[in-house]
A and B are shown apart, each in its own frame.
Chain A
Amino acid sequence: MENKIFKLIKKKEILKLLESLTKEYNIFVPIEDNGDARFSEFKSGQDIYWDYRNTKISPKEILFPQAETLFCFGPEAEVKSEEPASGGKGYLIFGIRPCDAKAISLLDKVFGGEDFEDPYYLERRKKTTVISLACNKPQIDCFCTSLNGKPDNEEGADVILFDLGEDILAGAVTKKGEKFIEKQNKWFEDAGQSDVAKKDKIMDLSLKKIKSQIDIQNIKERLDNDFTASFWDEIHQKCLGCGICTYFCPTCHCFDITDEINPKAADSKTPKGKRVRCWDSCMYPLFTLHASGHNPRPTYKERMRQRIMHKFNYCPENYSEIFCVGCGRCVRNCPVNIDLREMLISIESTK
């Protein structure tokens, strides 16, 4: 970050910049919706929710939609992949928080890894530019610092923005980001020393605001030997199996594939059916139900153990990364207040 060249742009100008880009990109910005924040397609005249803390549902739904048609089929219909809804344009995810941006880089490992390349995800991903917005005000249940994150973390972002009040400070992170800023150069002016100093001060304060700190540096090694440990017997009791934690988590990526039939396909050329991929959750009771009727994870205990092990042991094993970014959505939205931080602390402190 030290030798980065920063650019400055006024918030009002950003709206104009985004408007000028609507022909080239599908732009997603955070907007206010009844007191909460969510990502939505940028419409001209609409303001960006600059002060938002974080969105309810993570922006993973832009790259990994909840329901996605893989292909259509029919007796004489062309078997084809669904036209990507991009309309030939790129994707611009604007204003995503650093934790969510890091989560995108984690999803990249799953969907674009060495073992398997997911064409649907990658098709979108290669056209996506990620512009993150550093956090000035972390929430009380944010714990990104416990997972090697911070309010101005750059992982996953192409460009990182800092909210200085009326101005936005922008810094390129990747080559893609550099090219983006270069191309839009006319909108930016060079940032001065005072702007950068202001940014540093805001970030210092922001970092101090993160009170939640848990020591999980060795969680993977701990869990290597803990599959049959006794703490699993109690940790699951409150869980309802509702799936909110997985649906809101920016790194969770399990999915189900189903065929949907069109009841009104009038002629043989119209697609009679389509294959759809949709989100699924390991916390659902039927997630691992086999066709034989056997379920290897029959109770909440096995499912809770699976969730923790997957995020903090199996994924570190497979991708060398803990699959949690500390965004706090699972903590905030769990209907029975199961707190992941509490669970991790109790796991760490056992024995």
Chain B
Amino acid sequence: MIEKIKETVKKLFKENKIDIFIGYNEGTLPLRSTPCFITKPEDIEKLVWNSYCSNNLAVYLPRFFVPQQGAKDAKLPRIGILAKGCDGRSIVGLIKEHQIPRENIYIIGIHCGGMIDTKKIKKVDIVAAEEKNDKVLVEDEDKRKVELKKEELLADMCKTCQYTAPVVYDILLGKEKQKTSKEDREAFIKEFEKKPLEERWKYFQEQISKCIRCNACRQACPNCYCKECFADQTKPKWIGPTNDISDVMFYQIGRIFHQAGRCVDCGACVRACPMDVDLRVFTYKLIKDVKEFFEYEAGVSLEENPPLATFKQDDKQEFITEP
């Protein structure tokens, strides 16, 4: 698979179709990969593709198209990008919101079998790891070797993936992977919804109190491209910069709500969060609601109107108070 990717990228550079390619290189820690930006064909050899390539690369796209002062006629770069299913949907979102021009992006779609969540391995200092088909062989510091099943280490959101490859792409590599049912993906939300109100609030408080306001979730999210986030605004001052629990709740509610109709459930926020805050149980609720109320799913169509920029005459209004 990696050879096919390298071949495709080499061809793109040879035919002068792109200026920069965003892909993955080997990480410096076991079970990690790292994003890379290739401008010279000789660096193509360093590309990797494995079950550690979890970062959503779409987050890097908007910064290439920020208008430069005094450079109105500057040529916009042409960017090639390796996109898994979730990354591809983020790219669709960014194109729809006019953050990146479709014609400057060359999307190499790739069927993804799921990414490993390194947070699932705790209390072991892994010195080396190797992926072999559906197993992951890890070696700890005492030179003990353990074989772990890859499917047990998969991130939760990858276990119930609905889009293993991007819906919009220029070329698609890889073999189609098995998908689970929609019900499987929604199951955890449905279960949480059944809990009583006070229990849900307690869980929300517990999770949110872990947050240290490092802003990693916001910075890792491709949809959060605002030049000035509401959280940093001083006019008006919505929240302060401290980790005061009320402000942290506002920040999380605000950021998640800003994703209404836009979040593609790529999990970049959950992966980036250093404190293991369970964000998905809140972000996915909005995705479910948008699907239920407005029959819209983010990131699958370039033509469909965003749900909060349009309306239907018969939108549901049972929630409206009647005397």
CA distance A336 to B122 in the complex (A): 19
User: B243 to A67, Cβ gap below 8 A?
Assistant: yes
Contact A260/B215 with A242-B220, A337-B29 known, Cβ cut-off 8 Å = no
Contacts of B30 in A (CB 8 A): 140
Contacts of B3 in A (CB 8 A): none
Contacts of A299 in B (CB 8 A): 63
CA distance A266 to B135 in the complex (A): 63
Contact with A along B179-218 (1 / 0, CB 8 A): 0000000000000000000000000000000001011101
- Closest CB of chain A to B267's CB: distance in Å? 12
Contacts of B271 in A (CB 8 A): 335
User: A247 to B28, Cβ gap below 8 A?
Assistant: no
- The closest CB in chain B to the CB of A61 belongs to B212
User: B34 to A244, Cβ gap below 8 A?
Assistant: no
Listed residue (B59, B216, B242) with the most chain A CB atoms within 10 angstroms of its CB: B242
User: A240 to B275, Cβ gap below 8 A?
Assistant: no
Task: Judge whether A226 is part of the interface by a CB distance below 8 angstroms.
Answer: no
Contact A66/B242 with A141-B29, A248-B274, A335-B272 known, Cβ cut-off 8 Å = yes
Contact with B along A279-318 (1 / 0, CB 8 A): 0110011100000000000011000000000000000000
Task: Judge whether A213 is part of the interface by a CB distance below 8 angstroms.
Answer: no
Task: Judge whether A56 is part of the interface by a CB distance below 8 angstroms.
Answer: yes
CA distance A46 to B60 in the complex (A): 45
- Which of A137, A140, A238, A244 is in CB contact (< 8 Å) with B29? A140
Task: Judge whether B322 is part of the interface by a CB distance below 8 angstroms.
Answer: no
Task: Judge whether A342 is part of the interface by a CB distance below 8 angstroms.
Answer: yes
User: B240 to A247, Cβ gap below 8 A?
Assistant: no
Task: Judge whether B254 is part of the interface by a CB distance below 8 angstroms.
Answer: no
Contacts of A339 in B (CB 8 A): 28-29, 34
- Closest CB of chain A to B60's CB: distance in Å? 8
Contact A256/B241 with A240-B216, A243-B216, A336-B35 known, Cβ cut-off 8 Å = yes
CA distance A300 to B37 in the complex (A): 14
User: A66 to B243, Cβ gap below 8 A?
Assistant: yes
Instruction: Enumerate A24-77 residues with CB–CB distance to B below 8 Å.
Output: 34-36, 53, 56-57, 66-67
User: B276 to A258, Cβ gap below 8 A?
Assistant: no
User: A140 to B125, Cβ gap below 8 A?
Assistant: yes
Listed residue (A137, A244, A280) with the most chain B CB atoms within 10 angstroms of its CB: A244
- Closest CB of chain B to A140's CB: distance in Å? 6
- Which of A36, A248, A258, A335 is in CB contact (< 8 Å) with B240? A258
CA distance A337 to B216 in the complex (A): 13
- The closest CB in chain B to the CB of A51 belongs to B123
Contacts of B276 in A (CB 8 A): 34
User: B215 to A284, Cβ gap below 8 A?
Assistant: yes
Interface size on A, residues (CB 8 A): 45
- Closest CB of chain B to A158's CB: distance in Å? 28
Instruction: Enumerate B304-322 residues with CB–CB distance to A below 8 Å.
Output: none
Contact with B along A234-249 (1 / 0, CB 8 A): 1001101111100110
CA distance A258 to B240 in the complex (A): 7
Contacts of A139 in B (CB 8 A): 125
User: B272 to A331, Cβ gap below 8 A?
Assistant: no
Contact A242/B243 with A137-B141, A141-B29, A336-B34 known, Cβ cut-off 8 Å = no
- Closest CB of chain A to B38's CB: distance in Å? 11
Task: Judge whether A170 is part of the interface by a CB distance below 8 angstroms.
Answer: no
User: B214 to A331, Cβ gap below 8 A?
Assistant: no
Task: Judge whether A17 is part of the interface by a CB distance below 8 angstroms.
Answer: no
- Closest CB of chain B to A291's CB: distance in Å? 10
- The closest CB in chain A to the CB of B34 belongs to A337
- Closest CB of chain B to A276's CB: distance in Å? 5
User: B240 to A331, Cβ gap below 8 A?
Assistant: no
Contact with B along A73-100 (1 / 0, CB 8 A): 0000000000000000000000000000
Task: Judge whether A209 is part of the interface by a CB distance below 8 angstroms.
Answer: yes
Instruction: Enumerate A308-351 residues with CB–CB distance to B below 8 Å.
Output: 331-333, 335-339, 341-342
Contacts of A260 in B (CB 8 A): 240, 242, 244
Task: Judge whether A219 is part of the interface by a CB distance below 8 angstroms.
Answer: no
- Which of B29, B219, B227, B244 is in CB contact (< 8 Å) with A240? B219
Contacts of A67 in B (CB 8 A): 242-244
Instruction: Enumerate B236-267 residues with CB–CB distance to A below 8 Å.
Output: 240-244
CA distance A247 to B242 in the complex (A): 12
- The closest CB in chain A to the CB of B37 belongs to A237
Contacts of A207 in B (CB 8 A): none
- The closest CB in chain B to the CB of A139 belongs to B125
- Which of A53, A238, A258 is in CB contact (< 8 Å) with B125? A53
Listed residue (B27, B37, B272) with the most chain A CB atoms within 10 angstroms of its CB: B272
Task: Judge whether A278 is part of the interface by a CB distance below 8 angstroms.
Answer: yes
Contacts of B63 in A (CB 8 A): 299-300
Contacts of B36 in A (CB 8 A): 238
Task: Judge whether B176 is part of the interface by a CB distance below 8 angstroms.
Answer: no
- Closest CB of chain B to A207's CB: distance in Å? 14
Contact A338/B274 with A36-B122, A209-B141, A242-B215 known, Cβ cut-off 8 Å = no
Listed residue (B36, B215, B276) with the most chain A CB atoms within 10 angstroms of its CB: B215
CA distance A73 to B218 in the complex (A): 33
Contacts of A335 in B (CB 8 A): 55, 216, 220, 271-272, 274
* 12 A–B contacts, CB within 8 A, in A order: A36-B122, A137-B141, A238-B35, A244-B214, A258-B241, A260-B240, A278-B242, A285-B227, A286-B232, A300-B63, A335-B274, A337-B28
The 4 closest A-B pairs by CB, nearest first: A35-B122, A242-B216, A67-B242, A337-B34
Please give 5 more A-B residue pairs, beta carbons under 8 A apart, in addition to A337-B28, A337-B34. A36-B122, A256-B241, A278-B243, A284-B232, A335-B271
